[in-house]
Structure 1
Amino acid sequence: MIGPVSSISSSASSADSYEPGKFRERKRCLDLRSKILLTEEGSRFYLDRKLGLHEFNVEDGKTHFGFKVKSLDIPWLRRLLLANFVERAEFPVRDLGSVKNEIGDIARLVVFSLLYGDFRSSVYVRTLDSEIIRRWNRLHPHNAVDTKKSLFPGELRNTLSSKGDAIKAIKKEIFLPIYRTISVDARKTPEDHRRLYHFVNELLNYLDPLTYFILLGSPVEERQILEKFISEKIYSAIERVDLADYLALMVLELMGAAERSTLIELLGNDVRPSEIRLRLENPETRRTLLSSLPTGLSSAMVWNLSRRWSPLGHWRYRLRLSLYDGSSDFEDTKRLFEERGRLSVEDRNLQEFYEQGTGPYGDDGLGWYYLSFIGEACQEMGVSFVATVREQPGKGTAAVHLTLQL
C-alpha cells in the first residue's frame, strides 16, 4: 500500500514556479540518411509487434535488425536511445557543410543518452536497497525484484496515475534546492540556466516508476535519504553536461579535417599548398569535387553503444564513436594524432583553442588539440576517455575511434 506524502515540505517559495513537464521537446526531422541497428531487446520489441525491420549484415557475421532511413526524426531516435534499443548507428556524410548542425545535434544527443542512462540505472539500483523492496523480495522469493525485473510495470503505472500531485511535490522538493544552486552560479549565462533547468527536469521525468513508488511509500527518513542520493546523482550529471558540447565540437572539427583530406586528394598533386584553401573555398570547385567522390562520401560518423554490469553493482554505459574519411592519408592522420592529440592543455579553455583555429580549410590539427582538452576534462569528470587512430584494412584510410565510458 502506498503511504501518504503529507510530510513533504510545502514551504517552497511561490516564486519558485517549477512545473514538471514545463519544457516540451521541439519536434524536428533531419535530412540525413542513416542506419540504425537495434539491440536484441529492441529487435524483439519491434518483431513481436510485426513491424517491418531492415536486415543488416555487419562485420561480426551476424544478422542485425534495424532501420534504414532517408531522414532522421530526432524525438524518435531519442526514444530509441533512452530505451536502450540502439546498438549501432551510421551517419554517412557527402557534404559536411550541408549537415553540420545536424551532426552536432546528434553527437550531443548520444552523450545525453549516456548521462540519462547512467542516472536512471544508478538511482534504480539504489531503490532496490529500500526496505519496501527488501520486504517484498523476502515474501516473494520466486518473484523478486532486481536489476532485470521490475515490480509489475503495468500495475505500477496504474497505481501511480492517481498520485500525480504527490509525485509532482516530490519532484519539486528535489528540484528546487538544485536549481537555486544553479541560479547563483555567476559563470553560467541565462541560456545555460535555461538548459540546466530543462536537463534537471528531464532527469526527474526519466526516473523509473518504481523509484517514485518507493518514495511515496517510504517513511519520511528513508524517503529523504533516497532523495538525497537522487540529488547527488543529479549534481554529478550536471558536472558532466558540458561533455556533450565538447564532443560535438570535436566531432565536427575532426570530420571537417577528414572531409578536407578527402577533397585535397581529389585536387591532385599539381595544386600548390598555398592555393589549397582558395580552391576548397570556391563553391564551384567544391561542388565539382564532391560530385566526383569515389564512394559518394567525404566522411562518416558511426556510433557503437553498449552497457555491462559492473562488479561494483551498477551498469556501465559505453559509447564508441568512430569517424571515417575517404582519403588515403592514414600516415598523416596518425602523425597529427601523435603530435597533437596527447598534449597537456594546462589552464587553457575550449574557447581559447577554438580562437586559435583557422577555419574548416586551415589547420587540420585543431581537432587533434581538442582530444587533449576533452581527455583532461573527462578525467576531471570521472569519465573514461580513450582515443585511437586505426587504418582501415585494405583501404589505407584512417578511422578515429573515441570511446567514452561512464
Structure 2
Amino acid sequence: MGSQERKAIIELPVKVILTEVGTTFFIKNRKNLQKFKLADNQEEYGILMDKFTPSSLQRMMLIDYVSKIEISNSEFVTIRQEVMDIAKLITYSMLYRQYDAYIFQRVMASDVIKNWNRKNPANIIDDKTKINESFLQNVIKEKEHDIGDIKQSILAPMYAFISRNSSLLPEEKNIQLLLSEKFLNNLRPFIWFIIAKFKGLDGYETLIKDIRTSLADYMEKAKIAEYLALNIMELATNAENSNLKREAKAIFKGAVDMNSVLFDPNVRRQVIESLQRKGELVYLSWKLGSRGSSIGTQGKLSVTIYNKESEYEKMKEAIDEKKSTDLKKRSLQDFYKELPDGEANTELGLYYLSYLSEACEKVNIKYESLVNQISGSDLTVISLIINL
C-alpha cells in the first residue's frame, strides 16, 4: 500500500464543492466562493485549491464540508502521483468517517452506557447528548495520558500482527502502523470522553475489544484505497490516450503512426496543446456521501470519469467484459503475457476493475461500475460506486 500523504503539498488545481454545512461556514467567515460549471453541466459553489496540504483537504472532508471534488486535465501521465495521492486521501477520509460513525454507535449501545442510563435516568447519554465544546476539550486534555494508554492497549495486538507479517516490507509496515493510529486519532473527542470516563467499569473491556476488532476490519477495508486509486488513474490514462489518438487523426490525417502520439514527445506535445486549446479535457469527479444522508448512503463514494468518447458502445462492452473476468482462471501476470504489443496502456485499467471488484467482495464492500453516455452529447461517463 502506498502512503496516503506522499507529498507535504499537492500542487494540482482541485475544485472543491461544498456541502450546505461547508457553505455556511465559509460564508460566515467571509470567504469568497466560486461558481463552477462541472463536468456534468451542473453549476455549484465551492473553492478552487491550486495547491494544498493533504491534511487541510482531509480535515474538510472529515467534518462534512465537502460534497464533491473535481479534477480536469488533458494529460494525466505527468500528474499521476498527485491524482493517486488525492484518490487515496479521499478514500481514507471516507473510511475514517465511517469508522468514527460505527464506533459511536457501538459506544452508545455498549453496556457502560446502558448501566449509566439505568442509574442516572435524569442524565442519560445517547446520540443526541450535547456537551459544551470547551468543557469537552478540557476533559480530553486532563485525561490525555489515560487516553494515550487506552489507545496503546487497543493498538498493541495490531502492532504485533503487523510486525510479524513477513509479507510486508519495512516501509509498508510503517504505513500500516500509521494507518491504524489514524483510525483512532480521527475518532470524535466525545468517544474518548466516554471511554476515559467509564474506564475499568462493567462493560469497559467488552467495549475496548469491540473497538479493537472493528479496527482490524477497517484496516482490511483500507486496502481498497490502493485498488481504487489504480483504477481511477488507469481509466483516466485510457481516456487520455483515446483523446490523443482521436486528435492526432484530425491533425495529421493518418500521416503519423498512432503509437508515436503516445511515445514521441514532440508529437505528443503538439496534440496535447491542440486538445487544450479546444478545451477537450478528461474530468475526474468524486462525490462523497454526507453524514446527514439517509441510512446506508453516508459511506457512498462515487468516482466518475467524464470523457468525449467516439466509441461509447465499444467502451461499455469492454468494461462490462473486464469487470466480470474470472480471476481464478487468469492472474494479472497471465494477463500481461497475453496482451498484444502496444495494448497494455489501454487495457490494463479495464482489467483492474476485476481486481477491485474481488477486493471489495472480500471485505464486504458494495461495489459496481457503470458506463453511460449523457443524452444529447458524445460525453461518455464511467462510474465506480463504492459503499464503504
Q: Deviations 1:344-372 (Å, cap 9, x if unpaired)?
A: 11165556656766898745122111111
CA distance in 2, matches of 1:357, 1:84: 43
Which residue of 1 is the match for residue 16 of structure 2? 36
Q: CA deviation at 1:394?
A: 2.5
Aligned length: 379
Question: CA 1:239–1:314 in 2, change beyond 3 Å: closer, same or farther?
Answer: same
1:252 corresponds to 2:233:
yes
Q: Which has the higher helix share?
A: 2
Where 1:214 maps in the other structure, the secondary structure is: helix
Which residue of 1 is the match for residue 134 of structure 2? 154
Question: CA 1:119–1:358 in 2, change beyond 3 Å: closer, same or farther?
Answer: farther
Structure 2 counterparts to residues 139-178 of structure 1, below 5 A: 139-140=122-123, 145-146=126-127, 150-178=130-158
Q: Which runs of 5+ in 2 are unaligned?
A: none
Question: CA 1:326–1:29 in 2, change beyond 3 Å: closer, same or farther?
Answer: farther
Among 107, 130, 137, the residue aligned to 2:87: 107
Which residue of 2 is the match for residue 7 of structure 1? none
Q: Deviations 1:312-333 (Å, cap 9, x if unpaired)?
A: x887401000012234221221
Q: CA deviation at 1:50?
A: 2.5
Structure-1-length-normalised TM-score: 0.84
1:73 corresponds to 2:25:
no
Among 30, 35, 38, the residue aligned to 1:55: 35
**Residue type at the aligned position of 1:86:** V
8 A contact 2:147–2:192 mirrored in 1: yes
8 A contact 1:263–1:289 mirrored in 2: yes
Question: CA 1:199–1:331 in 2, change beyond 3 Å: closer, same or farther?
Answer: same
CA distance in 2, matches of 1:244, 1:354: 23
Where 2:174 maps in the other structure, the secondary structure is: helix
Question: CA 1:98–1:307 in 2, change beyond 3 Å: closer, same or farther?
Answer: same
Which residue of 1 is the match for residue 220 of structure 2? 239
Among 263, 288, 291, the residue aligned to 2:244: 263
CA distance in 2, matches of 1:317, 1:376: 19
Q: CA deviation at 1:74?
A: 2.1
Which residue of 2 is the match for residue 224 of structure 1? 205
Which residue of 1 is the match for residue 347 of structure 2? 365
CA RMSD of aligned residues (A): 3.0
8 A contact 1:384–1:404 mirrored in 2: yes
CA distance in 2, matches of 1:310, 1:54: 25
Q: CA deviation at 1:250?
A: 1.2
Structure-2-length-normalised TM-score: 0.87
User: What is the aligned-residue identity percentage?
Assistant: 27
8 A contact 1:167–1:212 mirrored in 2: yes
8 A contact 1:80–1:86 mirrored in 2: yes
CA distance in 1, matches of 2:336, 2:312: 25
CA distance in 1, matches of 2:9, 2:213: 35
8 A contact 2:289–2:300 mirrored in 1: yes
CA distance in 2, matches of 1:210, 1:48: 25
Q: CA deviation at 1:304?
A: 0.6
Question: CA 1:126–1:186 in 2, change beyond 3 Å: closer, same or farther?
Answer: same
Q: Which runs of 5+ in 1 are unaligned?
A: 1-22
Structure 2 counterparts to residues 161-310 of structure 1, below 5 A: 161-218=141-198, 219-268=200-249, 270-271=253-254, 275-293=257-275, 295-307=278-290
Moved more, 285-294 or 45-54: 45-54
1:397 corresponds to 2:379:
yes
Among 357, 365, 377, the residue aligned to 1:375: 357
Q: CA deviation at 1:230?
A: 0.7
CA distance in 1, matches of 2:379, 2:42: 25
**Residue type at the aligned position of 2:131:** L
**Residue type at the aligned position of 1:120:** D
CA distance in 1, matches of 2:339, 2:52: 31
Question: CA 1:257–1:383 in 2, change beyond 3 Å: closer, same or farther?
Answer: same
Moved more, 45-54 or 31-40: 45-54
CA distance in 2, matches of 1:368, 1:322: 14
8 A contact 1:55–1:66 mirrored in 2: yes
Q: Deviations 1:27-68 (Å, cap 9, x if unpaired)?
A: 633232221001111112222222222234669998743102
